[in-house]
Amino acid sequence: MATRAYTEFEWQAESAANGESGEKLTRVFIELVKQLESVRSICDLGCGNGHISGRLAALGFEVTGVDASRSGIQIARRKYPSATFIETLIDGSLGETLGTFDLVISSDVIEHLYRPSDLLEAARSLLRPGGRILIGTPYHGYIKNLVLAASGKMDSHFSALHDGGHIKFFSVKTLSKLVNTHGFEDLSFTFHGRAPWLWKNMICCARKTAQ
């Protein structure tokens, strides 16, 4: 089936969707990638409109973005031709079709998944031995939740009155357990936004185990 072309208005609207907050988080991801040694090939799981993929490709990395959204992949291919974009679901079989990479990244995806293990299984299948992952997700912790409750913002933050949105809410402890369970080690965390212990986002870096 042929897909319709995007109008310039739609294109600008989609491109602006990352916003100032998204751009700041993108810069954090890029700096973390640049600090890692021996990274040439990258797979971006849940790449959306290709914003992070495109920025990394512009720096000379070999980037493949993966997303199940047809419209997102259309935008990514049009705006960032230096990267490769694949429209497909995220699961543990991706390595069989895409091969292996030095690094897998994923920003603000895992909290939307009914089964977060799909992302970790896909990442492990895509990584060479010793390859690394960078997984970003909104931060949640005891102190932050206390502040939300005390300020009366708990309902709006964890709203159940709209379709879609976040369905998983990770702390350092729960994300660490999930990552460890799927064969990753040497975990470290980078926090972004707001004040300490009230951070907006966290990014977990981990290395694929030998087995």
The CATH number given to whatever domain includes residue 131 is 3.40.50.150
CB atoms within 10 A of CB 69: 14
The whole-model pTM stands at: 0.88
Residue pair 94/125 in contact by the 8 Å Cβ criterion: yes
Is 191 a domain residue?
yes
Is 93 a domain residue?
yes
Residue pair 106/51 in contact by the 8 Å Cβ criterion: no
Count of domains observed in the chain: 1
Give me the pLDDT at residue 157, please. 87
Burial 25-59 (b: 16+ CB within 10 A, else e): bbebbbebbeeeeebebbbbbbbbbbbbbbbbbee
Is 11 a domain residue?
no
Is 14 a domain residue?
no
CB atoms within 10 A of CB 210: 8
Query: What does the pLDDT average to over 107-135?
Result: 96
Residue pair 211/37 in contact by the 8 Å Cβ criterion: no
Three-state secondary structure of 113-167: CCCCHHHHHHHHHHEEEEEEEEEEEECCCHHHHHHHHHCCCHHHHCCCCCCCCCC
Is 107 a domain residue?
yes
Reported confidence tier of residue 30, pLDDT bands at 50, 70, 90: very high
* Distance, CA of 102 to CA of 62 (rounded, Å): 10
Average model confidence (pLDDT) for the chain? 90
> Tell me, what DSSP letter sits at residue 100?
-
Give me the pLDDT at residue 118, please. 96
Residue 10 has pLDDT above 70, yes or no: no
* Distance, CA of 170 to CA of 87 (rounded, Å): 27
Is 79 a domain residue?
yes
Give me the pLDDT at residue 18, please. 62
Domain that holds residue 166: 21-208
Query: What does the pLDDT average to over 19-36?
Result: 91
Residue 211 has pLDDT above 90, yes or no: no
CA end-to-end span of the chain, whole Å? 42
